[in-house]
Chain A
Amino acid sequence: MATTMPGRQKATPNSLTTGQLPRWVPWAVLAGSWAAMSAIVGFTGIASGASEFNIALALFLGTVLYAILIFVISTLVEGRRKGKDRFVTALVVSAFVIALLPLVSLAFTVVVNGAARFDLTFFTNSMRNIVGEGGGALHAIVGTLEITGMAMLISVPVGLLTAIYLVEYGRGWLAKAITFLVDVMTGIPSIVAGLFAFALFALLTGDPGFRSGFGGAVALSLLMIPVVVRSSEEMLRIVPNELREASYALGVPKWATIVKVVIPTSIAGIATGVTLAIARVIGETAPLLVIAGFTPSLNYDLFEGRMMTLPVFAYTQYMNPGADIAAYTERAWTAALTLILIVMILNLIARLIAKFFAPKSGR
Chain B
Amino acid sequence: MTATARTAPRIKSKARPADRVFSGATMAAGVIILVALAAVAIFLLAESAPALTGDLSNVKGSPDSFWAYVAPLAFGTVWAAFIALVLALPLSIGIALFISHYAPRRIAQVLGYIVDLLAAVPSVVFGLWGITVLAPAVVPLYNWLHDNLGWLPFFTGQVDQTGRTILTVAIVLAVMIIPIITSLTREVFLQTPKLHEEAALALGATRWEMIKMAVLPFGRPGIISAAMLGLGRALGETMVVAMLLSPAYVITFVLTSGQNPSTIAGNIALNFPEAHGIAVNALIGTGLVLFVITLIVNSLARWVVARRAAFSGAN
Which residues of A approach B to under 8 Å, CB–CB?
81-82, 84-85, 88-89, 91-96, 98-100, 102-103, 105-106, 109-110, 113, 157-162, 164-166, 168-170, 174-175, 177-178, 180-193, 195-196, 198-200, 202-203, 208-209, 222, 225, 229, 253-256, 258-259, 279-280, 282-286, 289-290, 293-294, 311, 314-315, 318-319, 332-333, 336, 339-340, 343-344, 347
Contact = CB atoms under 8 A, between A and B. Distances in A.
A290 B268 contact: yes
A102 B171 CA distance: 10
B163 interface: no
B29 interface: yes
20 contacts: A96-B99, A102-B134, A106-B133, A161-B25, A161-B30, A170-B30, A187-B232, A189-B291, A192-B290, A195-B47, A195-B268, A200-B39, A203-B43, A254-B22, A254-B23, A285-B122, A289-B269, A336-B124, A339-B125, A347-B117
B309 interface: no
Interface of B: 16, 18-19, 21-23, 25-34, 36-37, 39-40, 43-44, 46-47, 90-91, 93-95, 97-99, 102-103, 111, 114-115, 117-118, 120-129, 131-134, 175, 178, 182, 206-209, 211, 229, 232, 235-239, 242-243, 265, 268-269, 272-273, 276-277, 280, 283-284, 287-288, 290-291, 294-295, 297-299, 302
Contacts, number: 269
Contacts of B269: 191, 285-286, 289-290
Contact of A344 (B99, B120, B207, B276): B120
Nearest to B179: A99
Contacts of A314: 124-125, 128
B45 to A, nearest CB: 9
B82 to A, nearest CB: 16
Contact of A253 (B16, B25, B209): B16
Interface centre among B21, B32, B94, B97 (most CB of A within 10 A): B94
A191 B237 CA distance: 8
A95 B88 CA distance: 10
**B interface SS class:** helix
Given A165-B27, A286-B269, A339-B124, A196 B238 contact: no
A181 B276 contact: no
